[in-house]
Amino acid sequence: MSATATTGTHRTPTAQLWRRLWRFVGPHKGKLVAVVVLNAAAAVADVFSFTLLVPFFNAFFKSDALLPATGTIGTLLNATIGFLLDEQDRMGSLRNVLLIVIAAVTLKNALVWLAGQVGVTLQEFVVRDLRNALYAHLLRLPLPWFTRNKVGQVIARVLNDTATANTVVTELVTRSLWSGAQVIATLVAMFTTSWRLSLAALVIAPVTIGAIQPVLRKLRKGYRRLGNEQGEMTSLVQEVVSGVRLVKSYRAEAREDAKFTARNEAYAKGFVRVGRLALLSGPVTETLGTFTAVIILWYGAQLVLKEGALTGAELLVFLVQVMRLLQPLKQLSQAPSAAQQSLASAERIFDVLDAPSETANDRGTRTAAVFAQSLAFEGVGFRYDGGAAALTDVTFCARKGEVVALVGASGAGKSTLVDLIPRFLDPTHGRILLDGVDLRDIRLDALRSLTGIVSQDTVLFNDTVRANVAFGRPDATPAQLAAAAQAANALAFIEALPQGWDTNLGERGTRLSGGQRQRLAIARALVSDPPILILDEATSALDVESERLVQEAIDRLLVGRTVFVIAHRLATIQHADRILVLDGGSLVEEGSHATLLARGGAYARLHALQFDRRRADPTDADGEVMPAAAAVD
Ligand SMILES: Nc1ncnc2c1ncn2[C@@H]1O[C@H](COP(=O)(O)OP(=O)(O)O)[C@@H](O)[C@H]1O
Ligand SMILES: [Mg+2]
């Protein structure tokens, strides 16, 4: 498995995980208390109903009295149901006791049901809160975090791990409360019947708990690995579904199938391995439980027959109670292994929650950011995590209202440079000044309200045209939206859609052509009207007609704005006020189209390359057509 930054092997101490999970239960403490109280009451009713067997056994064994006159059990029963018993009318007495049994069992089940209701609400509220906290944090994580982590892993954490982590609340808190209450109530009943037998029965318990411990540690590691495997599978499915055209066109179905099969196999194997371990705790408890029963029968028989310390009826009720103890004890002994899975998920969740958010890192205090004069890069360098330098010592100054073009080969650092402007990334060297203020001193949201981006791969949401265009400014009026769409050359096709502005675009806007998507993105940028606009190869993927429409739209977009434009087609940018030529992360040339051409350097060479290509092949198969205006130069 590939080790991504957040799926590292570090382990958080269990106590700390519990404390952190507990914080999510805190707001729902009232419900938790209700669950405890209801379970305790149910356990008392449960044990009481079984103690009522004593008069029955005494009747069968033809004892002199239906209830023992002495001892805790005798006293308790005499105090509660004594008035219902009449030694002269044994059948009538037993009928009365049976009615009480029915009442006690009904009460117990009603209480269990009620506790379950509150428990489920508690559980779902905690998952909800956990999921909300995770999602809210996720949205505020810095951009590089998203490139480091696979989409599938992120989805798995938000959807699966939050639910799994929460079974801590179900398995351990809710159900264990019930089991624990049963165990305590039963133990009290057992000890009041015979403390010597009870001690004998309990010799085994510490052995059970001790024997299970090493298994538990292994389980948690296994579950954590499983969570990662599941994330990897989600990633694969997600990638293939979104890239299904690619898979089909390269006939890669079989290969992708094999990849998935291998992952699935690893997951299944891991699950079996963990399952084997997890299943161990049940049989172990059961076997030890049977030993306990045998010891009780043997020792109990001696107490009854030799010492007369116990009546036969009491021994039988005692045995019934010990047997009834097994189920809750088994559940309690399995709860820690169920918790391991939850704790592994909790670790994966806290990994995300612990990644510092942009807002946490934001030291900016200036909120009323306006762009009045200039944006200056001063000796800016940037290096991706563990990578080579993507930008080195870049210095330039863009004045308000200028169109700044960035040119250079693929990988020259153009996108990296513009990503520094809205602080998707922060420079690793040097600084960027907006009107003389370091970008890091401006609050992120204030800074980002100044910038707009239209990039090559347009992002459209599965929502209406209106919602997509108004994304940056949900309160825009229909007139503003129409004006923006008009300027973006998008109004005509929007109005021709089946439901016009209310048409749902489908996932990622698949119902539209590339050019239409691009024009919607431009309309979106126009609506929010940012003073600084970034166009990262906004026209690169388009056909000639779409490009003309988009280019027109962009020309309107440029008016009165500071624009950073990245374009492969030099024709697009030759009217720029300032052209920056990047090569291997360094700024190698700067000037206007005319100056740079005259200089005969890197820009002139790039230009000649495109110009020659156009002459050699006017149709330019890959779409890199030089419009007529450029060919004139
Ligand atoms: N998320 C990333 N992690 C690591 N390296 C990256 C990342 N994005 C880009 N790079 C590297 O940084 C360099 C500049 O990339 P980029 O700014 O995208 O270039 P351009 O936009 O000019 O094509 C390239 O060498 C690229 O491989
Ligand atoms: Mg790029």
Centre of ligand 2 from the C-alpha of residue 410, in Å? 7
Residue among 382, 384, 426 whose CB has most ligand 1 atoms within 8 A, to mutate: 384
**Averaged pLDDT, 538-564:** 73
Residue 124 has pLDDT above 90, yes or no: no
Domain boundaries, the chain: 14-354, 366-450+564-633
Residue 436 has pLDDT above 80, yes or no: yes
Among all chains, which residue has been given the structure tokens 């480091």? Answer: 148
pLDDT digits (tens, 9 = 90+) for 482-494: 988 888 888 888 8
Residue 391 has pLDDT above 90, yes or no: yes
Ligand nearest to the CA of 414: 1
Percentages (nearest 5) of helix, strand, coil residues in the chain: 65, 10, 25
Ligand nearest to the CA of 142: 1
Asked if residue 351 lies in contact with residue 311, where contact means CB atoms within 8 angstroms, the answer is no
Residue among 416, 453, 534, 566 whose CB has most ligand 1 atoms within 8 A, to mutate: 416
For ligand 1, atom 3, which residue shows the shortest CA distance?
A: 384
Centre of ligand 1 from the C-alpha of residue 83, in Å? 87
pLDDT at 612: 66
Ligand nearest to the CA of 540: 2
pLDDT at 428: 92
pLDDT digits (tens, 9 = 90+) for 570-584: 777 777 889 999 999
**Averaged pLDDT, 124-147:** 88
For ligand 1, atom 18, which residue shows the shortest CA distance?
A: 415
pLDDT at 152: 77
Centre of ligand 2 from the C-alpha of residue 417, in Å? 9
pLDDT at 219: 77
Architecture of domain 366-450+564-633: 3-Layer(aba) Sandwich (3.40)
Measured CA to CA, the distance from residue 370 to residue 353 in angstroms comes to: 33
Centre of ligand 2 from the C-alpha of residue 607, in Å? 19
Centre of ligand 2 from the C-alpha of residue 568, in Å? 10
Ligand nearest to the CA of 385: 1
Centre of ligand 1 from the C-alpha of residue 417, in Å? 10
Atom number of ligand 1 nearest to Cα 408:
22
Residue among 146, 406, 415 whose CB has most ligand 1 atoms within 8 A, to mutate: 415
For ligand 1, atom 12, which residue shows the shortest CA distance?
A: 390
pLDDT at 433: 93
For ligand 1, atom 25, which residue shows the shortest CA distance?
A: 411
For ligand 1, atom 6, which residue shows the shortest CA distance?
A: 384
Residue 621 has pLDDT above 70, yes or no: no
**Averaged pLDDT, 388-395:** 91
Centre of ligand 1 from the C-alpha of residue 408, in Å? 13
Binding-site residues, ligand 1, Cβ < 6 A: 147, 384, 387, 390, 408, 410-416
Interhelix angle 90-139/29-51, rounded to 10 degrees, is 160
Atom number of ligand 1 nearest to Cα 147:
1
Categorize the per-residue pLDDT at 5 as very low, low, confident or very high, splitting at 50, 70 and 90.
very low
For ligand 1, atom 16, which residue shows the shortest CA distance?
A: 413
Measured CA to CA, the distance from residue 340 to residue 460 in angstroms comes to: 40
**Averaged pLDDT, 299-325:** 79
Q: Which residue intervals of 243-356 are DSSP H helices?
A: 244-249, 253-302, 312-354
Ligand nearest to the CA of 383: 1
Asked if residue 378 lies in contact with residue 395, where contact means CB atoms within 8 angstroms, the answer is yes
Burial 359-395 (b: 16+ CB within 10 A, else e): eeebebeeeebebeeebbbbebbbbeeeeebbbbebe
The predicted model scores a pTM of 0.72
Atom number of ligand 1 nearest to Cα 585:
14
Centre of ligand 2 from the C-alpha of residue 409, in Å? 9
Categorize the per-residue pLDDT at 625 as very low, low, confident or very high, splitting at 50, 70 and 90.
very low
Per CATH, domain 14-354 is 3.30.479.30: no
Centre of ligand 2 from the C-alpha of residue 388, in Å? 16
Which distant-in-sequence residues (6+ apart) come within 8 Å of 369 by Cβ?
434, 442, 443, 446, 447, 449, 450
Q: Amino acid letter at 556?
A: R
Largest CA distance in the chain: 124
3-class SS string, 86-147: CCCCHHHHHHHHHHHHHHHHHHHHHHHHHHHHHHHHHHHHHHHHHHHHHHHHHHCCCHHHHH
For ligand 1, atom 1, which residue shows the shortest CA distance?
A: 147
pLDDT digits (tens, 9 = 90+) for 176-217: 888 888 888 888 888 887 788 888 777 765 665 566 667 767
* Residue 277 vs residue 403, higher pLDDT: 403
Measured CA to CA, the distance from residue 572 to residue 549 in angstroms comes to: 13
Give the 3-state secondary structure of residue 61. Answer: coil
Atom number of ligand 1 nearest to Cα 386:
4
Residue 268 has pLDDT above 50, yes or no: yes
pLDDT at 204: 60
Centre of ligand 1 from the C-alpha of residue 49, in Å? 73
* Residue 582 vs residue 308, higher pLDDT: 582
Residue 2 has pLDDT above 60, yes or no: no
Cα distances from 210 to residues 77, 279, 593, in angstroms, run 37, 16, 79
DSSP string, 432-495: EEETTEEGGGB-HHHHHTTEEEEESS----SSBHHHHHTTT-TT--HHHHHHHHHHTT-HHHHH
pLDDT digits (tens, 9 = 90+) for 63-108: 677 776 666 677 777 777 777 777 777 778 788 888 888 998 999 9
For ligand 1, atom 2, which residue shows the shortest CA distance?
A: 384
